[in-house]
Every structure is written in C-alpha cells, then in structure tokens.
Amino acid sequence: MHILLTRPLEDCSEMILKLKFLGHKVSHIPLLSIKKINYEEINFSDFSGIIFTSTNAIKFLNTKSINKNILCFCVGNSTEKKARSVGFQNTITAEGNVANLKELILQNFNQVDGKLIYISGETVSSDLDQQLIKDGYNVKRLINYRSEQNEKYDEKFIKDLKNNLPDIVYVYSQKSAQSFLNFIKIHQLENIWMETNLMCIGEKTSSILNEIKWKKIFLFNPGEEEFLLYKI
C-alpha cells in the first residue's frame, strides 16, 4: 500500500522505516513545524510527578537538574521511550490517549502525594491539568513548545501525489488536520481522495476533514498505526 505520513520527520522516521520494511510505499508531508518556547526556571524538586503527553514536551525540556527517579506519567509508548532515552527511570504509560492517561494518574497518584507538573505544547486537545485540578489535584502546567502550520510545499511532491494517491493518510492532531485541509484547498485537491482511507487521532481531528470525501475514516491511538493496516 501507499501510505502518507504527516508528522514532522523526526517524529515519524521510525515509522517510515518500519512501514518500508513491511513492503509499503511511504510518502511524507510535514504539516507542522515544532518550535521551542522559552519557559521560566522551575524547581522540579517541588513536584512529585511529571505528566507528558508528547515526545516534544520531553525534547524541549531541560532535564539536567531533574531527579530522574521522579514519577513520570506518559501518554503512550513512544512518549515513554523518549522519557527513558533522556534518563527518566520511573515511568508509567497509558494506552495512547489523554482519557486513559487521566485514569492512569487517578489510579496511581493520590491528591495527598504532592504536586504534579504537566509539560505540554501551547495547543492541546484536552485540558488535562484543569480536569485533574477539578478532581482535587495540585497541577502546574508548563508550556515549552508550539506547533506552526507549514505553508510551503514542494511542487514536485504535489505533482507526484496527484499521480500516485495514497491508500492511507495518518493525521495526528486537530492543528495538523486544519493544516492538511488548507493544503488540500490551496492546491485544489478536494475531489481526489475517494479511494483514500483517512486515519485520525480522535473525532475532533477527523471532523475537521469531514468535508472531504474519503473512502473511509478510522480513529486510532498513537502506536496503532501498523495494526490499522490490517483493517483495510
């Protein structure tokens, strides 16, 4: 199959290699660019746990002064792997979405255990910190990156895409979906996706692209990309 991946290259390079190894043709269009945001100095010894909902939150975090035995709640396997790669040793992972991550925190961390710090991007799909605060937790949110929509794309890529449409497109966020929709409209590609399956994380993401006619739309959690191939 021909598969189109849409995350920044560093976030999907392993997936590209894995899919190619399985014999698939893989194309790549980075819909977003990730930029660091400078943040206030934090004394992490004031906190008993860290919440990560993306690998980028870890990438742009200065971890040198953080106790690597601090409890880390990770949204999925790739985030946990990234946390482990920078030295964090006490990690717990959810099943790839924020709802599962919240349940994981509720089951493994009591309100009296101390403060939590939630490291995230500027735009998030769910206000996890506010949900936990309503449940009686003491949570601080630290924003250390933002995502920006890419607006310039290689003309050769667009021509090749028209001549060889993908069987599957993976879209990972609402902002990516909006960027993809803009890309489709700017290049007048609205009516060419009838034989392409759209894979989205969450209904809010898929709803942005509902005005385009797809063969079928699937919802998935990060880490399920390969599994979804067997549903096609």
**Per-residue pLDDT reduced to its tens digit, 35-58:** 999 998 899 999 999 999 999 999
2-31+150-231: CATH number: 3.40.50.10090
pLDDT one-digit tens code per residue, 80-89: 999 999 999 9
35-147: CATH number: 3.40.50.10090
pLDDT of residue 109: 97
Domains 2-31+150-231 and 35-147 equal at CATH topology level: yes
pLDDT of residue 154: 85
The yes-or-no verdict on residue 11 having pLDDT over 80 is yes
pLDDT of residue 230: 81
Average pLDDT of 205-224?
Answer: 92
Average pLDDT of 119-125?
Answer: 90
Helix or strand run (H / E) with residue 27 = strand 25-28
Q: Where are the domains of the chain?
A: 2-31+150-231, 35-147
Tokens standing for 141?
């949110």
Confidence of residue 9 (pLDDT cuts 50, 70, 90): confident
Provide the residue count of the chain.
232
Confidence of residue 222 (pLDDT cuts 50, 70, 90): confident
The yes-or-no verdict on residue 202 having pLDDT over 90 is no
CB contact at 8 A, 162 and 187: no
Alpha-carbon 73 to chain mean position: 15
The structure's pTM equals 0.84
- What distances in angstroms separate CA 87 from CA 5, 80, 91, one per listed residue? 29, 11, 10
